[in-house]
Structure 1
Amino acid sequence: MKTVVVIGGSTGIGSAIAQAFAGQGAEVHVTGIEAPDAMQVQGVAGRHQLDVRNERDVARFFEAFSHIDVLINCAGVIQREGREFTPEVFAGVIDINLNGTQRCCQAAHQALKAAGGCVINTASMLSFFGSGHAPAYSASKGGIAQLTRSLAIAWATDGIRVNALAPGWIATDLTSTLTQDTERSAELVGRTPMGRWGKPDDITGPALFLASPGAAFVTGAILPVDGGYSAR
């Protein structure tokens, strides 16, 4: 049975991915910032409260695992209304989205090595495009792409593959202000060749693929799952 850890797996894309792996028979552990009994994710083996900003807590969490077959990093935040332009908020977003991902990867390294496991990070279409509204989020996701490529090179000799998914506009709590804005939502859907918002379940198939034997020679890839948004 595979051991799968989904950081930020209590809601949204992370929750959908966690449940998809559980449905494949994996032992899935999810983390979230909220208390375990408040997490809505179903069918998983363990729910754990974890703040990815706390290096000591991250290290302690991963010490419990002798091996990890799949590590999925989905913890992330975005701040709107121009708040990301302030140094404090900018640094806070980077600390969760980018530094938090690196903390988890590094803390899980030995357990991943023991299993010959793989890492799936969460990038974004904003890994490729800039954002005039969310500079910290965009910068963090650009950093995730380069972190993914760098770890893929560094850890290949350990038998660890490192890839990232780059979701497009996915309807989650994180994007609720946009889905509820009729004019802005229409603009985004109009820019997306497939003509709709993505759903968290649209990300699960690509995640399962990247963790499968079918992706045995895939590492350092940033896979867009965006309905064709980045093709324009």
Structure 2
Amino acid sequence: MKANELFDLTGHVVVVTGAASGIGLATSQVVTANGARVVMIDVDGDRLVGAANSVRPAGAGVDTVVVDVRQGGQVAAAIDDCVAKYGRLDCVFANAGISGGPGFGKLDGALEAASLELWNNCLRINLDGAFHTMQAAAKHMKPRRSGSIVVTSSVAALRASAAPSYGYHAAKAGIAQVVRVAALELGPHNVRVNAIAPGPFKTNIGNGRMHTAEGAALFASTVPLGRLAELDEIKGLALLLASPASSYMTGAIIPVDGGTQA
């Protein structure tokens, strides 16, 4: 079988949350370029419009829906509408997330000073939001006995560090374990559930600190490859997990991290 057959998404319908920027936008670009129709979901409607316009030239169709993933009803309605409109749901990327503030490497991120407001919001978006998305997808994929659910976790789920917040570590570790449990439940229904665990990427998370010289240098110093990842470097794994090429993969938490887990 040739590569273009393994990775062909022609006719597939893919939903991506947090799609207006960063990893969600890169994912939307690559699945569309390989034949999928993508439904891009984000809470930022203005940014979502611009992101969708950048994706449309890649090929297949693009829809946008403004959703706050903290609200399970909004997520379920968006995915129900997608299935009603297109008659199928092949892949969902539960990607929406925030940084949750500084870790204990900064005084205001230390355990005794950590903000409970940031903690709660981080869990609501990064953990609850991903769970709502997985729930809504499973409702349609189980009866059809087909589908791929992909969640954005983090290398912070696999090891601790001083930079990300307590809330971020907790949420990303929690959703990684939810992925494993869901893989056990949904496997007999031929629905695959996997997580991508990115290392430091050049995204807008953390108020854009990855784009500052200080922030980039801090994170690059933890990476054996000595640099932050470009967003294009997530596309190969995202396409793999959305496509038939990963038909025997489930329950995996896969780092894309420049070697930090080594």
TM-score class, shorter: over 0.9
Distance (whole Å) between structure 1 residues aligned to residue 183 and residue 133 of structure 2: 15
The match for 2:256 is: 225
RMSD: 1.8
Distance (whole Å) between structure 1 residues aligned to residue 48 and residue 14 of structure 2: 21
The match for 2:212 is: 180
Distance (whole Å) between structure 2 residues aligned to residue 29 and residue 185 of structure 1: 31
Q: Where does the alignment leave 5 or more consecutive residues of structure 2 unmatched?
A: 1-10, 103-107
Q: Where does the alignment leave 5 or more consecutive residues of structure 1 unmatched?
A: none
Q: Is the 8 A contact 1:11 1:40 kept in 2?
A: no
User: Per-residue displacement from partner, 1:202-222 (whole Å, max 9, x unpaired)?
Assistant: 111011112222211110001
Quick one: which of 31, 34, 57 aligns to 2:41? 31
Quick one: which of 62, 79, 82 aligns to 2:100? 79
Identity %, equivalent residues? 32
**Is the alpha carbon distance of 1:40 and 1:4 closer, same or farther for their aligned partners in structure 2, counting shifts above 3 Å?**
same
Aligned length: 230
Secondary structure of the residue that 1:101 maps to in structure 2?
helix
Distance (whole Å) between structure 2 residues aligned to residue 191 and residue 61 of structure 1: 39
Quick one: which of 115, 118, 121 aligns to 1:92? 121
The match for 1:19 is: 29
Q: Is the 8 A contact 2:122 2:167 kept in 1?
A: yes
**Is the alpha carbon distance of 1:63 and 1:178 closer, same or farther for their aligned partners in structure 2, counting shifts above 3 Å?**
closer
**Is the alpha carbon distance of 1:102 and 1:38 closer, same or farther for their aligned partners in structure 2, counting shifts above 3 Å?**
closer
TM-score, scaled relative to structure 2: 0.82
Quick one: which of 7, 12, 30 aligns to 1:2? 12
The match for 1:120 is: 150
- Which of these two proteins has the greater Rg computed from alpha carbons? 2
